[in-house]
């Protein structure tokens, strides 16, 4: 029987997803049988937020991260120093980036080249410039490189098996023709409430307010309504399907922010003025209703045509996208093998627990490779 | 740069799934970058059907399997001799079992113990006796053992990511409460045609005939209608969810074969007499219709209650199970993290290409572990 092996875990970000991940990490069997060679012991050696950080120079495990972090007065390590600390660790290291920080994302190629593996829900690493995308996979050992490995299931659809399924379709030689779906929990909730199948629903601005009050939107709802979050997810899927998408702003993205409100100084001012624009959304609703359809905010990739787009579309009430409930996501893969009836994945695509689950699942996959 | 490494592939079964798999295997990049250590070269060293077999004593690759198999006059190797051949191969071996043969399944623990990895859609290995299940995972390195690894995605829902998703839910610490769905392409097609949402549909015996004529049933349709295929899939899912299910006959399974026809000498006789029993199915249809529901053949696992069952149930016309199309499968995972809205996977759950895709995907996973 081979000796047990230790893998060092460093976590950046301790917000909703970060906390849920740390909780899941603490429950992962200390004796993971995920490797053919030996049991694995996980040591949390660094935890960092945007404000402060805790780690020990001798790589001792953080025995009680909540207390240690609360008591810490150390500011977060600058990225080059963080890299230095991780690279010198006496064993394999997995960096868990639970932030949505662009600077951290930009440093992935450097971490990977130095043998540090990465698991993350951070969309910015995979939906920013195409150069960053190629740099990351040129360095990663599960790309073309020989460095650490990288997994990012939760960058689309949280813990739903979206990225892994698309990768498997591609790797096993299927021809992915079209990807279509509802990729935002906020947009899902908004339109399932605004125009439910069977009629009803309030004014659009009221539904935005309800979503905001329930915590389903970003603090400033414009950060959801501008469509950029969905555009980032579509960028990732399109790239995995083989399209060279330059950036999330290089294809048509419909913003639901009225032009006149783009310059509002605050989210509050925006919310105050939004009702003035309900007429346009009402017209759209009536128009769809006349055709026996409903309106949904969707994204799609047409691989053959090389087209990616994000915005409002009308769907028959019997369409799976129309029947979505709550804040669920739905993703349909149309491929050569699956023919007219797509492979569909559906469920909660946002929330700390399910997002962290995708990260924890990725960590297990990374550990299996780190033998 | 490490040296390229060779992995030996042995394939049993060259029917619909087997042929599709061999086609996918030939298209897999000979230079798979699925390992952090080195490119991988795959050598097909053995191909066997129930009638004949081809392999070279010196482990030379089969350069043209179709011709070599067609020209072969060698009968298949007995299992102990097959094991001997594979164990002595000068490198790692993956056995791809594309049969549904119980004898081959019974030999898995022996293969695994000797370091041979296995990928397979063969349900019988995982839904037979509980002893075989424990023996397999006691031997496998991705179980509790130190032998070869084993993957069986296509044993439920063909290439749909059902097994991998359930395993990830469990491994990351979610609490799986209930699994429910339509697990048979044949049963899906039959009931979507017999009682479509919105009315219509023919007599039950006519729909069985249509399904048979289209090749959607086994040669003898009783092999679908007895529910055993679905019961086997539920056995696998229930065991993965932690229930100790003794066998696929140790829980209630509703057979759609009328008692009086169980003793028919042939499938043809059965098909001839089936129309006499249409009345009972018509009554069921009328009863469901009165309640505004449709009838579907489903399986479910209630993890908390430890209950597994398979049979006919009524569903609201708005339920995702009612809205299924063609011969699609649908699988819903109700878990603590996903709450009231389950994680749903839907799509073709039968057919050579999509079943083979699950096997090819498993092969890639196995290769990543075989470093």
Of the candidates B28, B36, B361, which has its C-beta nearest A168's C-beta? B361
Report the complex ipTM. Answer: 0.95
Give mean pLDDT, residues A156-184. 97
Cβ <8 Å between B144 and A33 = yes
Please indicate whether, in this complex, the C-beta atoms of B164 and A160 are within 8 angstroms of each other. no
The two structure tokens encoding residue A51 = 């404000």
User: Average pLDDT of chain A?
Assistant: 93
Q: Pinpoint the alpha helices (H) of chain B.
A: 16-27, 65-71, 79-87, 102-106, 108-113, 124-127, 130-139, 163-171, 185-194, 204-213, 222-225, 228-240, 267-273, 278-290, 352-369
B154 with B168, same domain: the answer is no
Using the structure block, give the residue that is written with the tokens 């080059």: A80
Please, which pLDDT band fits residue B4 given cuts at 50, 70 and 90? low
Residues sharing a CB contact under 8 Å with residue B115, sequence separation 6 or more, in sequence order: B87, B92, B93, B147, B148
Q: Catalytic site residue B209?
A: no
Are A110 and A130 found together in one domain? yes
Q: Which of B36, B149, B172 sits opposite A36 (nearest CB)?
A: B149
Which residues of chain B lie closer than 8 angstroms to A354, CB-CB? 337-338
Give yes or no: residues A49 and A9 share one domain: yes
- Asked if pLDDT for residue A318 goes beyond 60, the answer is yes
**Cα–Cα dist B305/B243, whole Å:** 10
Q: Please name which of B44, B40, B56 lies closest in space to residue B6, comparing C-alpha atoms.
A: B40
What residues in A contact B24, CB-CB < 8 Å? 172-173
DSSP A32: B
CB count within 10 Å of CB B26 equals 12
Question: Residue A63's pLDDT is what?
Answer: 82
- Of all helices (H) and strands (E), which one includes residue A309? strand A307-316
B40 — pLDDT class (breaks 50, 70, 90): confident
Q: Do B191 and B81 share a structural domain?
A: no
Q: Are residues B152 and B169 in the same domain?
A: no
A73/A101 same-domain check: yes
| DSSP conformation class of B170 | H
Confidence band, pLDDT 50/70/90 cuts, at residue B31: very low
Of the given ranges (A137-146, A222-231, B279-288), which has the lowest mean pLDDT? A137-146
List of E strands, B263-338: 293-302, 307-316, 328-335
CB contact under 8 A, A36 and B160: no
Number of domains in chain B: 2
CB-closest option in A1, A353, A368 to B369:
A368
pLDDT at A2 over 60: no
User: Are A145 and A10 members of one domain?
Assistant: yes
Query: Catalytic residue among B113, B124, B212, B233, which?
Result: B233
Mean pLDDT (chain B) is 93
Question: Is A18 within any annotated ligand binding site?
Answer: yes
Contact A44, A11 (CB under 8 A): yes
**CATH number, position A90:** 3.40.50.720
Indicate whether B26 and B127 sit together in one domain: yes
One domain for residues A143 and A169: no
On whether both B257 and B359 belong to a single domain, the answer is no
- Asked if residue B16 belongs to a known ligand binding site, the reply is yes
- Contact present, A126 and A104 (Cβ < 8 Å): no
Give residue B3's pLDDT: 53
pLDDT in tens, A263-295: 999 999 999 999 999 999 999 999 999 999 999
* A188 beta partners: none
Tokens of B276: 């006499």
Cβ neighbours of B34 in A, within 8 Å: 142, 171
3-state SS class at B28: coil
Q: Summarize pLDDT for B209-253 with one digit per residue, the tens.
A: 999 998 888 889 999 999 999 999 999 999 999 999 999 999 999
3-class secondary-structure state, position B98: coil
Q: Indicate which of B5, B172, B181, B357 best probes the interface with A, i.e. most A CBs within 10 Å of its own CB.
A: B172
Q: What angle do CA B342, B354, B24 make, to 5 degrees?
A: 140
| Section A311-320 average pLDDT | 94
| Residue of B119, B141, B157, B168 for testing the chain A interface, max A β-carbons within 10 Å | B168
The answer to whether residues B325 and B363 belong to one domain is no
- Which pair of structure tokens corresponds to residue A83? 């890299």
Q: Are residues A272 and A343 in the same domain?
A: yes
Q: Of A92, A113, A233, A365, which one is the catalytic site residue?
A: A233
Q: Please tell me which of the candidates A27, A149, A346 has its beta carbon nearest to residue B36.
A: A149
Residue B105 sits in which domain range?
A: 5-158+354-369
Phi, psi values for residue B189, rounded to 5°: -60, -45
**Which CATH number characterizes residue B292's domain?**
3.30.360.10
Radius of gyration of chain B (CA): 22
Q: Contacts by B55-59 with C-beta closer than 8 Å and gap 24+?
A: B55/B10, B55/B85, B59/B8, B59/B89, B59/B90
């Amino acid at each position: 029987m081979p000796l047990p092996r230790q893998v060092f875990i460093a976590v950046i970000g301790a917000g909703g997803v970060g906390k849920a991940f740390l909780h899941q990490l603490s429950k992962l069997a200390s004796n993971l049988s995920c490797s053919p060679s030996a049991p694995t012991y996980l040591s949390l050696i660094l935890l960092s937020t945007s404000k402060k950080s805790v780690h020990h120079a001798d790589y001792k495990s953080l025995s009680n991260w909540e207390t240690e972090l609360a008591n810490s007065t150390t500011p977060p390590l600058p990225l080059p120093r963080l890299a230095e600390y991780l690279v010198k660790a006496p064993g394999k290291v997995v960096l868990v980036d639970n932030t949505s920080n662009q600077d951290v994302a930009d440093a992935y190629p450097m971490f990977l080249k130095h043998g540090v593996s990465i698991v993350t829900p951070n969309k910015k690493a995979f939906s920013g410039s195409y150069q960053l995308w190629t740099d990351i996979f040129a360095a990663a050992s599960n790309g073309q490189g020989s460095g650490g490995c990288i997994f990012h299931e939760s960058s689309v659809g949280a813990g739903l098996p979206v990225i892994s399924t698309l990768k498997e379709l591609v790797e096993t030689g299927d021809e992915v023709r079209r990807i279509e779906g509802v990729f935002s929990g906020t947009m899902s909730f908004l339109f399932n409430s605004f125009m439910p199948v069977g009629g009803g629903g309030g004014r659009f601005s009221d539904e935005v307010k309800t979503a905001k009050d329930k915590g389903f939107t970003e603090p400033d709802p414009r950060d959801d309504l501008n469509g950029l979050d969905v555009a980032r997810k579509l960028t990732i899927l399109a790239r995995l399907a083989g399209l060279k998408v330059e950036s999330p702003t290089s294809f048509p993205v419909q913003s639901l922010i009225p032009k006149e409100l783009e310059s509002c100084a605050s989210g509050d001012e925006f919310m105050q003025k939004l009702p003035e624009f309900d007429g346009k959304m009402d017209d759209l609703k009536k128009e769809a209703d006349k055709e026996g359809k409903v309106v949904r905010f969707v994204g799609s990739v047409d691989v053959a045509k090389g087209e990616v787009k994000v915005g409002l579309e009308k769907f028959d009430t019997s369409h799976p996208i129309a029947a979505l409930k709550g804040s669920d996501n739905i993703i349909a893969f149309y491929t050569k093998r699956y023919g007219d009836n797509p492979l569909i994945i559906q469920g909660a695509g946002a929330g700390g627990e399910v997002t962290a689950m995708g990260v924890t699942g990725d960590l297990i996959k990374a550990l299996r490779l780190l033998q």
